[in-house]
Amino acid sequence: MRTLVIGDIHGGLRAVEQAFERAGVTVRDQLIFLGDYVDGWSESPQVLDLLLSLQQTHRCIFIRGNHDALLLEWLKGNNDNLLWYKHGGEATVKAYRNVSDQVKLEHIGLLEKLENYYLDARNRLFVHAGFTNLNGVAYEYFPKMFFWERTLWETALALDPKMSRSDPAFPKRFTLYKEIYIGHTPVTRIGQTVPANRDCVWNVDTGAAFKGPLTVMDVDTKAYWQSDPLPELYLGEKGRNN
């Protein structure tokens, strides 16, 4: 059995299918999705349909991303978020024009049940964005930080690799978990298109919303498989490339 973690999808169904084929995903694999299933490419409803299907056949963990939270607000009647509309939401709104009310209700049910984080038996944390409480996720005062904050990754990038964990200045958040797997902030911002590791943090968002590929990674072996860059799979679409 493998434990596979999947980075931010952003409506790229074709990328999921391609990456799963290249990874040889089977029903024996546990699938942990890091969130942001929607917004960007044109198949957000179909991605959610896939998740609903996969949970019937595979052992799946679905983490909540910020874009998933925004879509849920829209599906439940909040139509005033212009910022969301300009940052990937437009493609999602257009895609839902052809979705029945019954399917929308099914998607609402899925989105409402997304997990803020998942902590496995080996003390490995899976969360979309990060957490801020120095005592860990169970003590987080502001649950929205799980899918909105960026300081965990920013701190990981700024951390001096020579610093000892016994140093009083060493960030306590990095001592709580064996490994932390995140998405949310694409590694293309640091010039990479493969999973990036800093201390115990692994960032698996390889820029599928923009010009990068989607990544599926084995958390035990650190082997990974990727789709083609999303613009090559969705010719004529911009994704979130404004």
Check residue 153 and give its pLDDT.
98
Q: Which residues of 16-49 are buried (b: 16+ CB within 10 A; e: fewer)?
A: bebbbeebebeeebebbbbbbbbbbbbbbbbbbb
Residue 123 has pLDDT above 90, yes or no: yes
Topology of domain 3-233, CATH? Purple Acid Phosphatase; chain A, domain 2 (3.60.21)
Q: Are 6 and 60 in contact (CB under 8 A)?
A: no
Q: Round to the nearest angstrom and report the end-to-end CA distance of the chain.
A: 40
Q: Where are the beta strands (DSSP E) in 111-161?
A: 117-119, 124-127
pLDDT recorded at residue 235: 96
The pLDDT > 70 percentage for the chain reads 100
> Which pLDDT belongs to residue 95?
95
pLDDT, tens digit, for every residue of 71-108?
999 999 877 777 788 888 899 999 999 999 999 999 99
Arithmetic mean of pLDDT over the chain: 96
pLDDT (0 to 100) of residue 242 = 74
Q: Which of 58-67, 74-83, 153-162, 183-192 has the lowest mean pLDDT?
A: 74-83
Distances (CA, A) of 228 to 47, 103, 209, 212, 224: 17, 29, 12, 8, 13
Give pLDDT, residue 83. 77
**E strand segments, the chain:** 3-6, 30-33, 59-62, 117-119, 124-127, 179-182, 196-198, 201-203, 215-218, 224-226
Helix (H, G, I), strand (E, B) or coil at 84: helix
112 or 165: which carries more pLDDT confidence?
112
Global confidence as pTM:
0.96
In sequence order, which residues have a C-beta less than 8 Å from that of residue 154 and are 6 or more positions away?
A: none
Is residue 49 within a helix (H) or strand (E), and if so which, with residue range? Answer: helix 44-57
Do strands 124-127 and 117-119 pair parallel, antiparallel, or not at all (unpaired)? antiparallel
What are 175-233's pLDDT values in tens digits?
999 999 999 999 999 999 999 999 999 999 999 999 999 999 999 999 999 999 999 99
